[in-house]
């Protein structure tokens, strides 16, 4: 991990914690018999924007609460900047949280809310610093108000100011935009990202919205049932999912089950319903036996049978079942013999559109396919993605 030096003139008393890595080692949390977080190892580099993405109930909030010290792990340890913090209480940790429903103190003015943490740590100039933080979120003019007199979006900014004013080693955000409407949400996404870049704090952002995670975060960890399925840069996760869950939860994927029948050296060929589909070895988690081959709908090229290449691999012949035109693109569902329905996402270049009943040929670049373990469920994560989108 690289240590990124942030704001050397930082007035934070816990200067050592500034720009410190968070490390979770074998963290497990049980509620009675229920395993909410399962042997989780996680390393979050300093000054990064880290997203924990996963369906509802996968253990994101529990993980965040354990980092904040609001919940103690059943087993495992955690450290910030090499300093062990396992077992310490929330008020002793250099960590601040933006709560899902903001949890602003209703009996205090906006300014007092923001100054609360500074006062508890006996920081000088707490009023001035709190004012400054409110300016940063563009709410300086409302500092005398009570939280109840603010709109949802404004309350959200106050909650953010109240946390960042403390310059914590780690800022935790639990679905901070969940209660906002779509337009405000997109706007706040950009703003959060800007603030994070400006002040250089480490953000750990919990969300079930994959688009939000991908647009904002440097690193995304996809969580499922208390475990991290895969972790990486958004592009990396999207282009090369390593589990069926990630392939389906993060965007859409066509997953086809088959058997590896040929080793070409740098690639293997999978036979599925009589079709030969190639995948590069470095893009496949398995190189023999049963396998799933995955291909994103937008990576598929759809053409008329007359234009199709002669026989080879990566060619699927099918018939259009359904099409929906959205303007910039058209989404097709193509029935392929021996495989089933395949989703295709075709950008509008002005080409002639296929209609249901038309025979078409699908093809793609081998470099765009990915291979997964054959005993995985092709539908894993699809239902969760659907639920998260609504």
Ligand X SMILES: Nc1ncnc2c1ncn2[C@@H]1O[C@H](COP(=O)(O)OP(=O)(O)O)[C@@H](O)[C@H]1O
The contact set with other proteins (CB under 8 A) reads 68-70, 89-91, 95-97, 99, 101, 103-107, 116-117, 120-121, 144-146, 149, 162, 166
d(CA 321, CA 344): 11
57 contact, one of other proteins, Mg ion, ligand X, none, CB 5-8 Å limit per kind: ligand X
Distance of CA 70 to the CA centre of its chain: 23
Determine contact, residues 316/279, Cβ cutoff 8 Å: no
Q: Is 31 in the site for ligand X (CB under 6 A)?
A: yes
| Whole-angstrom distance, CA of residue 312 vs CA of residue 125 | 72
Separation between Cα atoms, residue 80 and residue 46, nearest integer Å: 10
Among positions 18, 48, 62, 155, the unique one binding ligand X when judged by CB under 6 A: 62
Long-range contacts of 152-155 (CB under 8 A, 24+ apart): 152/179, 152/180, 152/184, 153/180, 153/184, 153/188, 155/102, 155/104
Q: Is the separation of the CB atoms in 336 and 378 below 8 Å?
A: no
Count of alpha carbons within 13 Å of 63, Cβ hemisphere only? Answer: 38
Residues composing the chain: 390
Which member of 13, 56, 149, 187 binds ligand X (CB under 6 A)? Answer: 56
Phi-psi region of 175 (alpha: psi -120 to 50; beta: other; left: phi over 0): left
**Could you say whether residue 204 binds ligand X (CB under 6 A)?**
no
Pick what 383 binds: Mg ion, other proteins, ligand X, none; C-beta below 5 to 8 Å, kind-dependent.
none
Candidates 57-65, 104-112, 245-253, 293-301; binding stretch for ligand X (CB under 6 A): 57-65
Which of 18, 48, 61, 243: binder of ligand X (CB under 6 A)? 61
Nearer to other proteins, 48 or 61 (CB): 61
Binding string, residues 214-233; x marks residues near ligand X by CB under 6 A: --------------------
Identify what 36 binds: ligand X, other proteins, Mg ion, none; CB under 5 to 8 Å per kind: ligand X
Minimum distance between the CB of residue 64 and Mg ion, rounded to whole angstroms? 8
Q: Which of 21, 23, 40, 60 binds ligand X (CB under 6 A)?
A: 60
- Establish how many alpha carbons lie within 13 A of residue 56's alpha carbon, considering only the half-sphere containing its beta carbon: 7
Stretch that binds ligand X, among 49-57, 182-190, 232-240, 353-361 (CB under 6 A): 49-57
Compute the distance between CA of residue 17 and CA of residue 46 in angstroms, rounded to an integer. Answer: 10
Nearer to other proteins by Cβ, of 118 and 260: the residue is 118
The per-residue DSSP string of 51-82 comes to EEE--TTSSHHHHHHHHHTSS--SEEEEEETT
197 binds, among Mg ion, other proteins, ligand X, none (CB under 5 to 8 A by kind): none
Choice between 107 and 383, CB closer to other proteins: 107
- Interface with ligand X, residue 210, by CB under 6 A: no
Minimum gap (Å) between residue 99 Cβ and other proteins: 6
R_g of the chain, CA atoms, integer Å: 25
Residue 200 is classified by DSSP as -
Contacts with Mg ion, 60-79, as mask; x by CB under 5 A: -x------------------
Give the residues lining the site for ligand X (CB under 6 A).
Answer: 31, 34, 36, 54, 56-62
């Amino acid at each position: 991990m690289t240590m990124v030096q942030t704001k050397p003139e930082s007035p934070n008393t816990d200067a050592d914690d500034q720009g410190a890595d968070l490390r979770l080692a074998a963290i497990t949390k049980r509620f009675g018999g229920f395993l909410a977080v399962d042997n989780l190892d996680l390393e979050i580099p300093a000054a990064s924007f880290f997203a924990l993405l996963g369906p509802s109930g996968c253990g994101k909030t529990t993980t965040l609460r354990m980092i904040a010290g609001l919940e103690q792990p059943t087993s495992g340890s955690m450290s910030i900047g090499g300093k062990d913090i396992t077992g310490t209480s929330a008020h002793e940790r250099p960590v601040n949280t933006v709560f899902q429903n903001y949890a602003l103190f209703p009996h205090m003015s906006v300014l007092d809310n923001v100054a609360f943490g500074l006062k508890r740590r006996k920081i000088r100039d707490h009023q001035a610093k709190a004012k400054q933080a409110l300016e940063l979120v563009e709410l300086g003019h409302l500092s005398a108000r009570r939280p109840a007199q603010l709109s949802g979006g404004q309350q959200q900014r106050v909650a953010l100011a109240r946390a960042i004013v403390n310059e914590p080693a780690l800022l935790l955000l639990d679905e901070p935009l969940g209660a906002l409407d779509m337009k405000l949400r997109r706007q706040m996404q950009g703003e959060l990202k800007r603030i994070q870049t400006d002040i250089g704090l480490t953000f750990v952002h919990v969300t079930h919205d994959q688009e939000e995670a991908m647009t904002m975060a440097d690193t995304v960890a996809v969580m499922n049932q208390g475990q991290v399925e895969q972790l990486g840069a958004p592009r990396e996760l999207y282009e090369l999912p390593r589990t069926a869950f990630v392939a389906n939860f993060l965007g859409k994927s066509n997953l086809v089950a088959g058997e590896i029948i040929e080793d070409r050296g740098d690639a293997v060929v999978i036979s599925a319903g009589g079709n030969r589909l190639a995948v590069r070895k470095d893009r496949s988690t398995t190189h023999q036996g049963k396998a799933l081959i995955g291909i994103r709908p937008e990576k598929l090229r759809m053409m008329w049978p007359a234009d199709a290449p002669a026989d080879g691999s990566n060619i699927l012949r099918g018939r259009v079942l359904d099409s929906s035109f959205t303007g910039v693109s058209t989404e097709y569902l193509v029935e392929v013999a021996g495989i089933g329905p395949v989703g295709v996402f075709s950008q509008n270049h002005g080409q002639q559109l296929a209609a249901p009943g038309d025979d078409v040929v699908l093809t793609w670049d081998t470099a765009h396919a990915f291979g997964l373990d054959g005993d995985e469920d092709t539908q894993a994560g699809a239902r969760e993605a659907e639920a998260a989108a609504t």
